[in-house]
A and B are shown apart, each in its own frame.
Chain A
Amino acid sequence: MQLTGSQDIEAPRERVWDGLLDPRFLKAAIPGCESFTLDDDGAYSAVVLASLGPVRARFRGRLWQEDLHPPARCTLRFEGEGGIAGFAKGSAQVVLEDIDGDTARTRLSYSADVAMGGRLAQIGSRLIDATAKRMAGQFFDKFEALLKDPSALAEGSGEAAAPAASGGQEAFGSDREPAAAVPGKAALVAAAPAVSPAGQFTLQMPGWAWAFTVAVLAAAAAWLGTH
């Protein structure tokens, strides 16, 4: 399945790029993100609790970055596993461009190839596209708000750092406990090198992949819950 879309962000490319590689931003912006851990093989593992309507499912995933060209484009591969809800895996290409030559504004375009399995494929695939787009939009809304007001990050909680709560915020945040920050892991992630040379593997958490993976899985969870 192909997921494509774009998002205009009121910030320069460099700032968007840094934000997208900053795990604090991503953890705060990804709905329901519980943990990031760095594995021995250099990939990241994360656990995301997606809670929509009556369904709450915990998704585990891993991801790898490839082909980094800051602050213009990169590719990443991801795998997400939602237990009996199935799995999603694939890769995403992300491109950052100035909007009409305006270096203060950035257009982020993404194109993801996602393969799904299990119940996701059986009963959710046709409904994922629109839902994933909507949820990606919610992610970027929150991400943009964090870029404008990074002070929220200091509180270390995604839920607390939601100055511009969108529809997605209501969907995710209101009916459950805020995800507890895990200082040890957060410190580990924050200590990672900020920017790497183009094409080199880095330790940053490329969060938009999570946006896609989580969007896909959570949309499926939502769909499963209503059917």
Chain B
Amino acid sequence: MNKIVNEMPAGTVVTPSRQLNHSGIGAPVRRREDPRLLTGKGRFADNITMTRQLRGYVLRSPVAHAKIKRIDVSPALDVPGLVAILTGEDYAADGWGDIPCVSIPPNITGGGYHATPFPPLATDRVLAVGTGVAFIVAETLAAAIDVAERIEVEYDELPVVPTLEAALADNAPLVWPQAKGNRCFTHELGDAAAADAAFERAEHVVRARIRNQRVAGNPMEPRTCIGAWDPGDMRWQLTSSTANPHRIRLILADQILGVPAHRVHVVAGDVGGGFGTKGGIYPEEILVLWAAQRTGRPVKWVSDRSEAFLSDFNGRDQIADAEFAFNKDGTVLGARIVVNHNLGCQLGPSTAHPPLVGTRMLSGVYAIPAMHVTVNGIFTNSRTLTTYRGAGRPEATLVVERMMDLAAEELGLAPDEIRRRNFIRPNQMPYTTCIGETYDCGEFEAIMDEALRLADWEDFAARRADSEARGRLRGRGLAVYIEVCATISERMEVRFDSAGGVTILAGTFSYGQGHETSFVQMAHEWLGVPIEKIRLLQGDTDKIATGRGSFGSRSMTVGGSALKQACESVIDKGTRLAAIMLEVDPAEIVFESGLYLWKAGDQRSVTIDEVAKASFAWKGVTTYASGALKSIPADLWSGLEGIGHFSANPQNYPNGCYIAEVEVEPETGQVHLVGVTAVDDVGNVVNPLLLEGQIMGAIAQAAGQALKEKVVHDETGQLLTGAYTDYAMPQAGDFPRFKLGLRSVPTATNPLGVKGGAEAGTVGLPPAIVSAVVDALRPYGVRDLKMPLTPMSVWEAMNPEGEEE
């Protein structure tokens, strides 16, 4: 069993109830949602079957770039069970809107960006393999597929730029003719003149091209949605496996339909993961609504696994050309970095988020005096890219940390030593990097030292000798990361009912994060109500006024802080009511562990449960001392409830140190991950079990990217990794026992002192693994390696001529 070393880190929010109460903040409460989810009692979108429901099927383009010459549906019209064949022309004729991009700020440098039309079905041109060209609605899925088989689509093929490399080549064909060089936008950060001056002074310059490969999101539950149309109420209802129901409602109402949002009802029940890829809107979520209105019957669409590989938006995919200027002693003087980030063929809602946010973090944990960063968003004939766990920060961290290790190697310094010489010090906090990010706190050297100790860094030589005795190469690598978490605002509502039950109406949305446990723990702590009497309600836009969903490790910071405010609002209202009930001055009432107590007086008290019941009283409340029936102010007489808001401005900066140790089989190039040590600063911890799960999951995902995963297209843009036979996923057997530690520095930027903890591993671990394998291959003169470090790529690096040894 892996163990969080410091279960109760310094600075954890401590309240008087803590000692008595083992389910509050900081307690390792087991996930309350698991019994339901693990025993088949969850309710996912595909568990729902609506009356008279039809099935939808998307006919997709088999070619990557082509004009659609002709779509002939006539051979399919006699298939039994066919209800409708809908095309992009029908969609345009009905006047529905395109999928918007909402991730490029209006003040982007370089004069705006190239917007892309993105209707859910192609009209004149397909831009990637898998582009939808027709939506078939039939009584059964089998009938819909039969119809799809018979539809004849004639394509006039166009030149293809399947990859970032192809799109950046001289005279590359253009995905969008107006986007010269296949460039959607260019954004610059930092000071070019200052950076150039640093390079003129430099005693040593390190240069490298860092490739961060494209990966697939692979949520456990493939995307599923059901559209329904109510002709009486004139409303659309979307049931979806989305990770962000309120965002989808907003896009549907504002951008797609142009109707008041109350005419759109989005519901998400249990959702089986998303990792950032389910947070925008997808074509199918629009198609099922459109088809439902057209046919007058509910329409369900379910992605199968290989369709998910083809149609889900992907993550990462970036080339960074970096040069870092140093003094001979290893002090970094400046950096110039050009980032080219693949956007795919069209801009989805979050497509530009990873390149634009990630590049903000390119200074890492180091005091780099001068930097200039250029980030280009690049179009390719491939599926749209989007946020994927870490979303830009893993890309940035790979660049900074690999550059530090390359510099250490070239300057003859140990990897920890070069970092010590460049860390931003705690006494420099708050520290604004030269590309404009202000870190509020962090103790980077101390966290690295803690990780080095936990990993037995000093005893590595003995372990290496042991590996060599067994015929294996051994290497170690470390990375110190910083990321940025928690965006925008959140709204949380807490409502008591007449029986003393509490409902949290969350604007966040948990699709694996465990909010039914963590938020309930927090409300339990603050309100003193037993956990069993608290329920989390989320994911229904008719029930939750508004919300922002869960992504970017934001929920504890913004959701938790808003929940705290909501609970405080409830407690304050309850104090006024308790004062009436207890017949004392509200200023003299203290709220403790669910009890309103006249501490200054005779210790008379009333529970929040009783206060809540009183707030629903039919005819006033009976007072404590006199027994009189007193009336209640109107605002307290319709149920005890409170609303909290919080906006994360500034954001917070989780950081930490990851150390990887690997063994490499020299005969085959197979890499074995034999040691993973992680020490994270995620601020205060609400539930160490959930945090441990997040960190372990992120480690597995990071190792997957570092060692195995890659989305591959051939030169014609065909997707070659369309199933798990060709797309390698990390498995339990790939991992050693993790050594996990926390060294928390609570942030003052939110009332809980929490920082994001859900993405840390994906940010910190990949460069540590790459550096560890490079370290192992040092006898072979290997300087750098590109992820994924598959046996073939490692073996080829060891055998550059390809000869047998």
Contacts and interface: CB of A to CB of B under 8 A. Distances in A.
Interface of A: 57-58, 83-84, 86-87, 115-119, 121-123, 125-127, 227
B718 A116 contact: yes
A84 B145 contact: yes
A121 B306 contact: no
Nearest to B157: A117
A121 B725 contact: no
Contacts of B310: 122
Given A83-B150, A84-B59, A126-B726, A121 B719 contact: yes
Given A83-B148, A84-B145, A118-B129, A123 B306 contact: yes
Contact of B149 (A83, A87, A117, A122): A83
Closest 4 CB pairs of A and B: A122-B722, A118-B62, A121-B718, A83-B149
Contacts of A83: 148-151
Where chain B touches its partner, the secondary structure class is loop
Nearest to B306: A123
Given A87-B62, A117-B716, A122-B129, 18 more contacts: A57-B149, A84-B148, A115-B716, A116-B718, A118-B129, A119-B306, A119-B722, A121-B714, A121-B718, A121-B719, A121-B722, A122-B718, A122-B719, A122-B720, A122-B722, A123-B722, A123-B725, A123-B726
Nearest to B61: A118
B723 A227 contact: yes
B727 to A, nearest CB: 10
A121 B720 contact: yes
Contact of A122 (B59, B63, B716, B723): B723
A127 B725 CA distance: 10
Contacts of B795: none
B309 interface: yes
Interface in B710-739: 714, 716, 718-723, 725-726
B720 A117 contact: no
Contacts of A117: 62-63, 129, 716, 718
Nearest to A86: B62
A139 B59 CA distance: 32
A125 B720 CA distance: 8
Contacts of B62: 86-87, 117-119
Contacts of A116: 718
Contacts, number: 54
Contacts of A126: 725-726
A96 B721 CA distance: 37
Contact of B309 (A57, A58, A122): A122
Q: Which of A115, A121, A227 has the most CB of B within 10 A?
A: A121
A122 B148 contact: no
A42 B592 CA distance: 91
A79 to B, nearest CB: 12
B306 A84 contact: no
Interface string B476-494: 0000000000000000000
Interface string B139-158: 00000010011110000000
A75 B309 CA distance: 36
A83 B148 CA distance: 7
A127 B722 CA distance: 13
29 contacts: A57-B149, A83-B148, A83-B149, A83-B151, A84-B59, A84-B60, A84-B145, A84-B148, A84-B149, A86-B62, A115-B716, A117-B62, A117-B129, A117-B716, A117-B718, A118-B63, A118-B129, A121-B714, A121-B720, A121-B722, A122-B129, A122-B306, A122-B309, A122-B310, A122-B720, A123-B722, A125-B720, A126-B726, A227-B723
Contacts of B148: 83-84
Contacts of B145: 84
A118 B153 CA distance: 13
A118 to B, nearest CB: 3
A118 B714 CA distance: 12
Contacts of A84: 59-60, 145, 148-149
A70 B726 CA distance: 42
B155 to A, nearest CB: 10
A41 to B, nearest CB: 15
B60 to A, nearest CB: 8
A58 B719 contact: no
Nearest to B721: A122
A122 B62 CA distance: 10
A118 B719 CA distance: 8
Contacts of A118: 60, 62-63, 129, 718
A116 B59 CA distance: 17
Contacts of A123: 306, 722-723, 725-726
A186 to B, nearest CB: 23
B713 to A, nearest CB: 9
A145 to B, nearest CB: 32
A121 B722 CA distance: 8
A18 B759 CA distance: 67
A122 B149 CA distance: 17
A208 to B, nearest CB: 24
Contacts of B723: 122-123, 227
Interface in B60-83: 60, 62-63
A86 B716 CA distance: 14
Contacts of B60: 84, 118
A119 B723 CA distance: 10
A58 B151 CA distance: 12
Contacts of B151: 83
Nearest to B310: A122
A84 B304 CA distance: 14
Nearest to A118: B62
Contacts of B129: 117-118, 121-122
A117 B65 CA distance: 12
A129 B718 CA distance: 17
Interface in B460-502: none
A126 to B, nearest CB: 6
A27 B62 CA distance: 28
A119 B308 CA distance: 12
A149 to B, nearest CB: 36
A77 B309 CA distance: 31
Contacts of B306: 119, 122-123
Contacts of B150: 83
Contacts of A87: 62
B749 to A, nearest CB: 45
B149 A58 contact: yes
A154 to B, nearest CB: 33
Contacts of A227: 723
Contacts of A121: 129, 714, 718-720, 722
Nearest to A116: B718
Contacts of B726: 123, 126
B11 to A, nearest CB: 50
A86 B725 CA distance: 18
A217 B310 CA distance: 20
Nearest to A56: B149
A117 B716 CA distance: 9
B541 to A, nearest CB: 34
Contacts of B59: 84
A115 B148 CA distance: 22
Interface string B545-583: 000000000000000000000000000000000000000
A127 B720 CA distance: 12
A32 to B, nearest CB: 15
A126 B148 CA distance: 25
B626 to A, nearest CB: 77
Interface string B143-181: 001001111000000000000000000000000000000
A121 to B, nearest CB: 4
A123 B309 CA distance: 10
A113 to B, nearest CB: 13
A117 B720 CA distance: 9
A125 B151 CA distance: 24
A57 B150 CA distance: 10
A84 B306 CA distance: 13
A38 B722 CA distance: 36
A107 to B, nearest CB: 32
